[in-house]
Amino acid sequence: MAENQYLYAVARIRCREQRLLNASFLEQLVTAPSAEACLRMLREKGWDGGAPEDSDAMLAEEQKRTWDLIRELVKDMSILDVFLYANDYHNLKAAIKECKSQNAFAHIYLNQGTIPAEQIRQAVQENRLDSLPKGMREAAEEARKALLHTGDGQLCDIILDRAALEAVRQAGEESGNEFLKLYGELTVAAADIKIAVRAARTGKNKAFLENALMECETLNLGALTRAALDSEEAVASYLERSDYKDWAPELRKSPSAFERWCDNLLIRRIRPQLRNPFGIGPLAAYILARDSEIKSVRIILAAKRNGLPEDAIRERVRETYV
């Protein structure tokens, strides 16, 4: 009867899906004359958070609305932690670096996480890492030590990014839900591939790759490491032999095309949830769909402000869920 647990929630999400931005609306935003015109159109659509010209506040408000709705609908939010770990580890990274720099940067923290950002900030500042969850505590100790001893910000980032990926993959597996497991696996695989490509481009060594790459079921890390040590083309060739052979042509096109492909693939994989009336899947898919549309709007607004041509914007806008 677990599938009947979210009937009320899924019915509400079905109604909310009607208000998601569709491809034709995003196209209207792309062809709008300016960022201000885009903001006006979004406000007419109900995106009315923040001051009239403050797009950051508007997007933050939309993200908050999504999570407020989900928190209202789901009693045990731990099953959806898989989507929030990235924010937790971002906040941890910010807290450690803020602490090292001895300056306050309150605006760099993200609000949506499994632990309040302020709690993470205080734990790091007051050296009370014991108050953090086990996995996060170990990563925080290691990252802080690395930053203090070597002053290497990138090493600190690698430790925390890897810990975040491990948390996402583990949460996906432990959820017992196929959809969340798939999300965890795809997130880790996409991150590993991006790391391999960047490492190949910047000539990183084997030790770096071993520290940065996270194990997942669908990638052979040994082969990926060897490819990354060789060249970008070797990474693309490896992908052709893996479960992700469709990703190789995008990787050869450009980094932004590859990023877009990863996001689009996720949207395509979650689309069957539009027709699923049972279980947590439609709720999880709605969270991802909202994240994706907010990302697309952010890209369009940034591109409009920087005067990018419409075709260049279109190349970067993500596919829509509805």
Minimum CB distance to another protein, residue 15 (Å)? 3
Structure tokens at 22: 């569709």
Amino acid at 83: F
- The long-range contacts involving 153-159, CB below 8 angstroms and separated by at least 24 positions, are 153/97, 155/211, 156/93, 156/96, 156/97, 157/93, 158/208, 158/211, 158/212, 159/211
Sign of CA dihedral 73, 79, 83, 86: positive
Residue number with CB closer to another protein (4 or 101): 4
The gap between the terminal CA atoms of the chain, to the nearest Å, is 28
How many residues interact with another protein (rule CB under 8 A)?
Answer: 14
Kindly write out the interface string for residues 150-189 of this chain, putting x where it contacts another protein by CB under 8 A and - elsewhere.
----------------------------------------
Query: Which residues are within 8 A (CB) of 6 and not within 5 positions of it... i.e. 6 or more apart?
Result: 73, 74, 278, 279, 280, 282, 283
Judged by beta carbon, residue 9 or residue 160, the one nearer another protein is: 9
Q: Which stretch binds another protein (CB under 8 A): 5-13, 113-121, 160-168, 176-184?
A: 5-13
Q: Is 9 in the site for another protein (CB under 8 A)?
A: yes
Q: How far apart, in whole angstroms, are the C-alpha atoms of residue 69 and residue 49?
A: 15
Q: Is 278 among the residues that bind another protein (CB under 8 A)? A: yes
The Cα 252–Cα 261 span in angstroms is 12
4 binds another protein, rule: CB under 8 A = yes
Q: Which of 268, 90, 73 is nearest to 168 (CA)?
A: 90
CB 25, min distance to another protein, A: 17
Q: Closest approach of Cβ 320 to another protein, in Å?
A: 15
Closest CB 301 distance from another protein, rounded Å: 28
**Between 12 and 295, whose beta carbon lies closer to another protein?**
12
76 is a site residue for another protein (CB under 8 A): no
- Point out which span in 14-22, 143-151, 159-167, 183-191 binds another protein (CB under 8 A): 14-22
Supply φ then ψ for residue 17, to 5 degrees. Answer: -60, -25
> Which one of 6-14, 125-133, 191-199, 217-225 is the stretch in contact with another protein (CB under 8 A)?
6-14
Backbone conformation region of residue 102, classed left if phi is above 0, alpha if psi is from -120 to 50, else beta: left
222 contributes a contact to another protein by CB under 8 A: no
Q: Which residues inside 15-74 make contact with another protein, applying CB under 8 A?
A: 15-18
Nearer to another protein, 3 or 246 (CB): 3
77 binds another protein (CB under 8 A): no
Q: What are phi and psi of 179, to 5 degrees?
A: -65, -45
State which residue, 18 or 101, has the beta carbon closest to another protein.
18
Residue type, 140: A
Handedness of CA 12, 13, 17, 21 (dihedral sign): positive
Contact flag: residue 11 with another protein (CB under 8 A): yes
Q: How far is residue 305's CA from residue 291's CA, in Å, rounded to a whole number?
A: 21
* Interacting residues toward another protein by CB under 8 A: 4, 7-12, 14-18, 277-278
